[in-house]
Amino acid sequence: MTTVTSGGADPVTVLARAPGRVNLIGDHTDYTGGYVFPIAIDRYTEVEMERGTPWVELVSADEEDAAIVSLDDPVDPASVEPAWARYVAGVVAMVRPDTGGRGFVRTTVPIGAGLSSSAALEVATALALGLEGTPLDVALACQRAEQIASGVPCGVMDQLASTSGVEGHALLMDCRALTVEPVPVPGGAEIVVVDSGQRRKLATSFYGVRRAQTEDAETLVGSLREATLADVEQIAHDDLRRRARHVVSENARVLAFAEAFRSGDLVAAGALMVQSHASLRDDFEVSTTALDELVDELTATPGVHGARLTGAGFGGCAVVLAERGARIDAGVDAWRVRASAGASVTVLSDG
The catalytic site residues sit at: 158
Under the binding rule (CB under 6 A), the answer on residue 28 touching ligand GLA is yes
Under the binding rule (CB under 6 A), the answer on residue 343 touching ligand GLA is no
Cβ proximity to ligand GLA: between 13 and 310 the closer is 310
State whether the Cα torsion 184-43-176-281 is positive or negative.
negative
The angle, 0 to 180 degrees and rounded to 10, between the axes of the packed helices 266-282 and 238-262 is 170
Cβ proximity to ligand GLA: between 113 and 304 the closer is 113
Residues 6+ apart with CB under 8 A from 162: 18, 19, 20, 21, 40, 116, 119, 120, 123, 139, 142, 342, 343
Under the binding rule (CB under 6 A), the answer on residue 154 touching ligand GLA is yes
Find the DSSP H helices in the chain: 85-95, 117-128, 135-150, 157-164, 207-221, 229-233, 238-262, 266-282, 289-299
3-state secondary structure of 10: coil
Under the binding rule (CB under 6 A), the answer on residue 311 touching ligand GLA is yes
Cβ proximity to ligand GLA: between 158 and 190 the closer is 158
Q: How does DSSP assign 286-316, residue by residue?
A: ---HHHHHHHHHHHTSTTEEEEEE-TT-SSS
Under the binding rule (CB under 6 A), the answer on residue 312 touching ligand GLA is yes
Contact residue for ligand GLA among 15, 17, 24, 30 (CB under 6 A): 30
Under the binding rule (CB under 6 A), the answer on residue 149 touching ligand GLA is no
How many chain residues touch ligand GLA (CB under 6 A)? 10
Sheet holding 189-195, edge to edge: 304-309, 317-323, 189-195, 333-337
Cβ proximity to ligand GLA: between 13 and 117 the closer is 117
Give the containing element (helix H, strand E) for 334: strand 333-337
Binding mask 240-269 for ligand GLA (x = CB under 6 A): ------------------------------
CB of 206 to ligand GLA, least distance (A): 11
Under the binding rule (CB under 6 A), the answer on residue 158 touching ligand GLA is yes
Instruction: Select the residue whose beta carbon is closest to ligand GLA and give its number.
Output: 155
Residues that bind ligand GLA (CB under 6 A): 27-28, 30-31, 154-155, 157-158, 311-312
